[in-house]
A and B are shown apart, each in its own frame.
Chain A
Amino acid sequence: MSTEEHPTPDRTPDPAPQGTAPRSLAEALRARDDASLSALLRTRPDLITPVPTDLTQLATRAGTRASVVRALERLDRFALQTAEALAVASDPAARDELLALLAGDDNDPAVTAAFPHALGTLREQALVWGPDDRLRLVRTARELLAPSPQHPSPTGLGPTVAEATAGMSPGRIQEIVAEAGLPTTHDSVSAVASLTALFTDRSRMSALLDTAPAEAVDVLSRLVWGPPYGQVTADPARHLRWLIDRGLLLPTAPGTVVLPREVALHLRAGRAHRVTEPVAPAVEAARTHRPQVVDSAAAGQAYTALATVEELLKDWHEGGPAVLRAGGLSVRDLKRTAVALDVAEPIAAFWVELAYAAGLLASDGEADERYAATPAYDEWLERPAAERWATLTSAWLAATRTAGLIGGRDTKDRTLSALGPGLDRSAAPEVRHRVLALLATLPEGAAATPDSVLAHLQWERPLRGDRSAAEDLRARLARWTLSESELLGVTGRGALSAQGRALLGLPSASARESGARAPSGPGDKLPAHKHHRPAVEAPLSETPRSPAEQAAAVAHAARLLAPLLPEPLDHVLLQADLTAVAPGPLERPLADTLGVLADVESKGGATVYRFTPGSVRRALDAGRSASDLHAFLAAHSRTPVPQPLAYLIDDVARRHGHLRIGAASAYVRCDDDALLSEILADKRSQGLRLRRLAPTVLAALADPAALLEGLRSMGFAPAAESAEGDVLITRAHAHRTPPRSAPVPVPDGPPVPDATLLGAAVRAIRAGDLASTTPRKDTQAPAPGNSELPRTSSAETLATMQAAVMTGEAVWIGYVNAEGAASQRVIAPIRVEGGFVTAYDHTADEVRTYPLHRVTGVAELADDQP
């Protein structure tokens, strides 16, 4: 294979002009026009990050493994199958050979029809290059897709005869050729070639297979669709031997045989794939409703969506739930919210995420962080309903956060919480667009079966290998899209509504009819973008719309929706069972007031309110008076206000505020109200801030002492009163502390010791005395004075200790304890090991263990007492 990246130096290096075959991918790219190149870069944007300096570099980059994998993963199933077929074809392959691999011997017309487009796609994406008679798959792609024992090909094909016989002895090859009924040749290459020719010749091959034993045919049929490898024993059965002898099975390793690619293709009637899927499975209509029904159902749901978001944020009005330390909403708060919204938890999670995505709610960023509505929410509330819907929907379409994941677990097995981290899935917006675009391919009013949508999506973006998790994600995203679009009213009863269509920027279905699948023209050498394709065929992500276009589409959708939304009403129906029914959405001020005055009992298209003493009290607390409420109800009721309701309001109002509560720090009471009037009339009492509560009681904001003082200064003779109402007798103040305990006596000397202590003391003294007074033998070290610690080298110390263990004698040691205090001790060592000496300490009268390194020195006790 010639190098793709660099033109072969001995040929003309200048770009191959149109018409001459390019010799490398770089040349092929060079030959493409600007539109074609920009189409390449649009589909493979990774190639221009960063922008390559020249086409050679672009070609190099297009051949890198990461980029090729990415490109392959974005191919639709048929394009991928075409690439896979090319990978098992000869290199380079002629167009017809490739087509034969896909269409099979029976020349499937559907495949033939779809083939030019698929090939065009591969060319456009620079995965395939070269003229029609010399099609080449980019080398990396070939490596990825071609079969090898380690990576079985999705085609299930094995190696070619040439590859499989590469290491075989020439003699063996000649034997096979002879067995196969071919004339022997003089070299292996020609032998392999003639064998290959036999295997690829349908009629000769059929003739050969006709002579095969039945079991042999059976074996072949087991291997034909792959995996092509089989196990054989050292002494294979007769029918296996028959196959092996004729090269229909070729050995790859001891005990393993493979079905050569040519044989498999013969048995498969030339097809590289068991099922070639030239066209995407059609999206099936589950049922069809009248478009008006769909639109109005969607509008109804759109209205519900608005009401729900509003209700959610109203619920969080006075401080929403706390933000978890790891971010997000706790499971309990989500549960609570779900109960408040009267929906299932996953649905509640969706609304919460939607409001978040639309910027209507966020964390408040305070020290004790909570979720709350944003200022944008207040603006949003003021806008017309259709615009509010448009805001929510466009936020949803573009969001990468996916509410469907909530409640699941991430790769580290942490629960994914609503509003929390880890919910972003970059594929989400694209899948949403695709799902809606697929729904748009159906006639207006038709609802798709979810399975057919999923099948179509899977065709568009099949996944190579076993990436079941990722596979799962796209399918799940699609399912979520279907249910979420229903919740939002983008679809109604499962079918895309007119406003949903407008949201995608699609013309209405009737206008689109003409754009049926255009037959692919002759120019399949041209990159795919030159083919006319129906608008819906192209994934929308391929042709991103400008923000202006998007805004226009959204505005159009809102315009379509607006007339379908119910008009707010200005009246309710009051009933004698103390309920009020609003037979539709209410004007906001009316709804707000009624929401305070009555409890909501049932929600939906209409709202049922119930008046209870509690709800009426709430309205009175909110500053309404009974007459206000009567007037309000009379004004907004279509029917006369029922008497029980009027009574309820009057009853509650009568008792409302009957008890009054206020703050006062002191009071003045007096049986003589004239005296109190006199106090109040006195200007000097103003500072005491007195208020008459009853004829005989004044409340004061001044404290009792100041009040007493003030009244005395005014010439009255007040007496203080205790909490029980007794007169307090004022005496000189005796200042007292809070309860305190008496100090503990600190005696001069120590307490008299008891007998135990004394005994211990004596013993210690005696031992110490023994240590200090016992005459000891002279050591080599400078003789320590009586007060000094003995000092010996550590080796000597060890030796002396060990000797003492043997003899059982006591020795005299100097010892420095952990605090650094030095002491002298007399010990009788018991054992010495591991740097410690265990000894009976005469001083302490017990067995102790001393680290040897703390022993400053050791001296033997003198045997003779002085």
Chain B
Amino acid sequence: MNGPLIVQSDKTLLLEVDHEQADACRRAIAPFAELERAPEHIHTYRVTPLGLWNARAAGHDAEQVVDALVEFSRYPVPHALLVDIAETMDRYGRLTLSKHPAHGLVLTTTDRPVLEEILRSKRVIPLVGNRIDPDTVAVHPSERGQIKQTLLKLGWPAEDLAGYVDGEAHPIELAEDGWALRPYQKQAVENFWHGGSGVVVLPCGAGKTLVGAGSMAQAKATTLILVTNTVSARQWKHELVKRTSLTEDEIGEYSGTRKEIRPVTIATYQVLTTKRKGVYPHLELFDSRDWGLIVYDEVHLLPAPVFKFTADLQARRRLGLTATLVREDGRESDVFSLIGPKRFDAPWKEIEAQGYIAPADCVEVRVNLTDSERLAYATAETEEKYRFCATTATKRKVTEALVRKFAGQQILVIGQYIDQLDELGEHLNAPVIKGETSNAQREKLFGAFREGEISVLVVSKVANFSIDLPEATVAIQVSGTFGSRQEEAQRLGRVLRPKADGHQAHFYSVVARDTIDQDFAAHRQRFLAEQGYAYRIVDADELLADN
């Protein structure tokens, strides 16, 4: 017994990365365990009921799971845990959702007491119709998502055999001229298609759009793509035109400014969730065509009303794309139950090792507040404290020094507070993109940055997501949305697109020492640290002295 895996009693699995069997072990446990942390030596996986049920759905049985654990485990696997795994997996498949020729959508059971138990739940009662026979109950077709979600919460997940509608067919092909889907992208598309619906997690810059395009080429049907903002919508459109057989005319944009519905329609979350007189007028977009595929970009940002509506779309294939499935609101499980389980997940460092994302040097620069700033910070109101320490004047000096240091490279300066950004823009003599910047202006600036006409761009959180700036090599973060882990990861993602010359990306996070800024930074870095990005800490004084 000298396996690479240690099975903990709290159902986490510790995988020793440097062990010779580590790869085999990773493959064996991947179907049922979630990768939670991937720092340099020991990766942590977690066995969750959801993961086990997904494994069941994918055709794995308890025996295989137990065997995988026992085979690779360094120490004896706690018996209680094995029993628990078997029992949990056994709960799956007792209930099935299927299409009945006469009664439409029905819930059937192989274990009558389970059906009796769930039918007594207050949450299930409104979702089901008549009892057809002792083992079968009719389900309102519109509640397909809701009942799956509810049953999952009750611990009796239903196997959904009701299938998907094909949607309105539309020819889509990948135009692989001079490029091809990367192996992991292919794998992701395959996993997604095989599973029917689900979420693909890939690092920023690893080409999630292509996974979307690949899935569309598989579906060959009308597609609705939901994205975070208009700029991103345009990028999708651009990319789809470039990478697939689709033409400009076949792709519509459904946003605040344009309301086009075409065989492939790209809509923003914002327009969908616009509320007028208490209703969401644009949600009918979901029904406006017989969509064969719905793609949710940046699924970790999925707004609550869209969640609710997605529950009603269970008959359509759904693809969620994200880099960081961490939601500070803890609704990850809703994503999984409504859009689908995680179908593909690649650790960032693995993709980096394959050369598809640029290696990054993450540095935390600690600046000292001056005495007068410290005094002011100490006496600031609680809600003002973060703003105060995050926008300290010293940060400006450090940012300037860094910009000087990397002169000639494409640099992004990212921050939270507009005043601070404006000031930085002024000092660095760089344009600022913020919420009030018009879309046209934004695109113009991004275009100029891509072309290398401007080398420094100051951006607010509007550029957190989905802005494709392949040539950016240095990101300097001066302030952020408190302790948001996914924001940190997304910002790092801005510089991870592989560089033409293959050189390293730099990510600087400027943090005020001994303030809550530092505490937030520690929390923000957690996701990346768990993905294996080791932050270096540098004192601002050293940095300034070097310069």
Residues of A at the B interface (CB closer than 8 Å) are 293, 296-301, 304, 342, 486, 492-494, 566, 573, 575-579, 581, 583-584, 602-606, 608, 639, 642-644, 647, 651, 655
Is there a chain A Cβ closer than 8 Å to B370's Cβ?
Answer: no
Pick the contact of B78: A300, A576, A606, A651 (CB < 8 A): A300
Please tell me which one of the listed residues B7, B39, B76, B82 contacts residue A299 in the complex, with CB atoms under 8 A apart: B76
| Given A581-B14, A603-B9, CB of A492 within 8 Å of CB of B76 | yes
Does B58 sit within 8 A of A, measured CB to CB?
A: no
The answer to whether A575 and B7 touch (CB under 8 A), given A299-B76, A583-B14, A608-B14, is no
Which residues in window 28-42 of B have CB below 8 A to A?
37, 39-42
Given A297-B77, A577-B529, A578-B529, A605 and B41 contact (CB-CB distance below 8 Å): no
Q: Which residues of B contact A643 (CB under 8 A)?
A: 534-537
Q: Is B545 an interface residue (CB 8 A)?
A: no
Within 8 Å CB of A298, what residues of B? Answer: 76
Q: Let me know if B8 and A583 touch, CB within 8 A.
A: no
Contacts of A606 in B (CB 8 A): 6, 8, 14, 75
The reply on B526 being an interface residue by CB < 8 A is: yes
> B466 within 8 Å of A by Cβ?
no
* A604-B8, A639-B41, A647-B537 as given contacts; A577 in contact with B76, CB under 8 Å: no
- Rounded to whole angstroms, the CA-CA distance of A639 and B514 in the bound complex is 28
Bound Cα distance A606, B513 (Å): 34
Q: A651 to chain B: which residues have CB within 8 Å?
A: 513-514
- Name the CB-closest residue of A to B362: A576
Q: Which residue of A lies closest to B366 (CB)?
A: A647
Give the interface size class of chain B.
Answer: 35 or more
Distance A297 CA – B80 CA, assembled complex (angstroms) = 11
**Given A299, A566, A577, A655, which contacts B526 in the complex, CB threshold below 8 Å?**
A577
Tell whether, in the assembled complex, residue A584 and residue B78 are in contact, meaning their CB atoms are under 8 Å apart. Answer: no
Closest CB-CB distance, B436 to chain A, in whole Å?
37
Q: Which residues of B contact A486 (CB under 8 A)?
A: 79-80
| B506-547 Cβ-contact flags toward A at 8 Å (1 or 0) | 000000011000000000001001101111110000000000
- On chain B, the residues within 8 Å of A494 by CB distance are 79
**Given A639-B41, A643-B536, A644-B534, are A301 and B6 neighbors across the interface (CB < 8 Å)?**
no
Q: Say whether chain A's binding surface is mostly helix, strand, loop, or mixed.
A: mixed
CB-CB under 8 A from A602, the residues of chain B are: 8, 10, 12, 14, 44
> In the complex, which residues of chain A have a beta carbon less than 8 angstroms from the beta carbon of B44?
602, 608
Q: Is B279 an interface residue (CB 8 A)?
A: no
State whether A301 touches B76 (Cβ < 8 A): yes
What separation, in Å, do the CA atoms of A577 and B525 have in the docked complex? 9
A571 to chain B, nearest CB (A): 12
**A297 to B77 alpha-carbon distance, docked (Å):** 7
Query: When A and B form their complex, which 10 residue pairs have the shortest distance between CB atoms, in order from nearest?
Result: A300-B76, A604-B8, A605-B75, A576-B534, A577-B529, A575-B39, A606-B6, A297-B76, A604-B9, A577-B39
- Classify the secondary structure of B's interface with A: mixed
**Chain B neighbourhood of A581, CB < 8 A:** 14, 41-42
A602 to B12, CA, bound (A): 8
- Taken together as a complex, chains A and B put the C-alpha atoms of A55 and B44 apart, in Å, by 74
> B1: nearest residue on chain A (CB-CB)?
A296
Verify B41–A604 contact, CB threshold 8 A. Answer: no
With A342-B10, A577-B39, A608-B14 known as contacts, the answer to whether A566 contacts B75 (CB < 8 A) is yes
Q: Can you give 12 contacting A-B residue pairs, CB < 8 Å? A: A297-B79, A298-B76, A300-B77, A492-B76, A573-B42, A576-B40, A578-B529, A581-B42, A583-B14, A584-B6, A584-B75, A604-B9
Cβ-closest chain A residue relative to B14: A606
> Contact at B8–A342, with CB atoms within 8 Å?
no
| Binary per-residue interface labels of chain B (74-91) against chain A in the complex, 1 for a CB within 8 Å, 0 otherwise | 111111101000000000
Residues in A neighbouring B487, C-beta threshold 8 A: none
**For the complex, what is the distance from the CA of A577 to the CA of B524, rounded to whole Å?**
12
Specify which chain A residues have a CB less than 8 angstroms from the CB of B529 in the assembled complex: 576-578, 644
CA distance A649 to B302 in the complex (A): 39
CB contact under 8 A between A605 and B514, given known A304-B78, A575-B39, A581-B42:
no
Interface code B1-17, partner A: CB below 8 Å = 1, 0 otherwise?
10000111110101010
The answer to whether A642 and B534 have CB atoms under 8 Å apart is yes
Contact, CB under 8 Å: A579 / B76: no
Interface 1/0 per residue, B113-154 and A, CB below 8 Å: 000000000000000000000000000000000000000000
CB distance from B40 to the nearest CB of A (A): 6
| A297-B77, A493-B82 known, 7 other contacts, Cβ within 8 Å | A301-B76, A576-B533, A583-B42, A603-B10, A644-B534, A651-B514, A655-B514
In the bound complex, what is the Cα–Cα distance between A579 and B529 (angstroms)? 10
Beta-carbon nearest neighbor of A604 in chain B: B8
Complex interface residues of chain B between 247 and 277 (CB less than 8 A to chain A): none
What distance in Å separates the Cβ of B117 from its nearest Cβ neighbour in chain A?
21
B75 / chain A contacts, CB cutoff of 8 Å: 300, 566, 584, 604-606
Q: How far is the CA of A342 from the CA of B513 in the complex (A)?
A: 37
Counting chain A CB atoms within 10 Å of each CB, the highest count among B7, B10, B79 belongs to: B79
Contact A577 B37 (CB under 8 A): yes
B513 partner residues in chain A, CB cutoff 8 A: 651
Residues on B with C-beta less than 8 A from A583 are 6, 14, 16, 42, 74
Residue among B1, B7, B9, B533 with most chain A CB within 10 A:
B9
CB-CB nearest in chain B for A294:
B76
Chain B nearest Cβ from A332, distance in angstroms: 23
Within 8 Å by CB of B41, from A296, A493, A573, A647, lies: A573
Question: How far apart are A350's CB and chain B's nearest CB, in angstroms?
Answer: 13
Q: Cα distance A304–B81 when bound, in Å? A: 13
Residue of B nearest to A296 (CB): B76
Q: A300-B78, A584-B75 in contact; A576/B14 too (CB < 8 A)?
A: no
- Closest residue of chain B to A289 (Cβ to Cβ) is B70
In the bound complex, residues from chain A placing their C-beta under 8 Å from that of B6 are 583-584, 604-606
Q: How far is the CB of B529 from chain A (nearest CB, A)?
A: 4
Report the nearest A residue to B533, measured CB to CB: A576
- Complex: chain A residue closest to B41, CB-CB: A573
Say yes or no: A605 contacts B79, CB within 8 Å.
no
**B residues less than 8 Å from A577 (CB atoms):** 37, 39, 526, 529-530
| A113 → chain B closest CB, angstroms | 39
In the assembled complex, the Cα of A604 lies from the Cα of B78 at a distance in Å of 9
Contact B8 A605 (CB under 8 A): yes
CB distance from A615 to the nearest CB of B (A): 13
Question: CA separation between A643 and B532, bound complex, in Å?
Answer: 14
B535 x A576 contact (CB < 8 A) = yes
* A296 proximity list for chain B (CB < 8 A): 1, 76
Q: Is the CB of B79 within 8 A of A493?
A: yes
Complex CA–CA separation, A213 to B39 (angstroms): 88
Nearest A residue (CB) for B19: A583
Give A644 to B40 CA distance when docked, in angstroms: 13
Q: Nearest chain B CB to A340's CB is how many angstroms away?
A: 14
Cα–Cα, bound, A647→B534 (Å): 13
Please name the residue on chain B nearest to A566 by beta carbon.
Answer: B75
B43-54 vs A, CB cutoff 8 Å, 1 = contact: the mask equals 010000000000
Residues of A within 8 Å of B42, CB to CB, are 573, 575, 581, 583
Which of A293, A573, A605, A647 sits near B7, CB closer than 8 Å?
A: A605
A643 to B535, CA, bound (A): 8
Do the beta carbons of B39 and A579 come within 8 Å of each other?
Answer: yes
Complex: how many Å from CA A493 to CA B530?
A: 34
Q: State the Cβ distance, B324 to closest chain A Cβ, in Å.
A: 15
* Contact between chains at A604 and B10 (CB < 8 Å): yes
Closest residue of chain A to B537 (Cβ to Cβ) is: A647
C-alpha gap A576/B75 in the complex (Å)? 25
* A492 and B79 in contact, given A342-B9, A342-B10, A606-B6 (Cβ under 8 angstroms): yes
B345 to chain A, nearest CB (A): 18
Given A605-B8, A608-B14; A575-B41 close (CB under 8 Å): yes
Chain B, 439-488, CB within 8 A of any chain A CB: none
B8–A603 touching, CB < 8 Å: yes
A448 CB to nearest chain B CB (Å): 14
Q: A342 to B535: give the CA distance in the assembly, Å.
A: 33
CB pair B9 A301 closer than 8 Å: no
Contact A644 B537 (CB under 8 A): yes
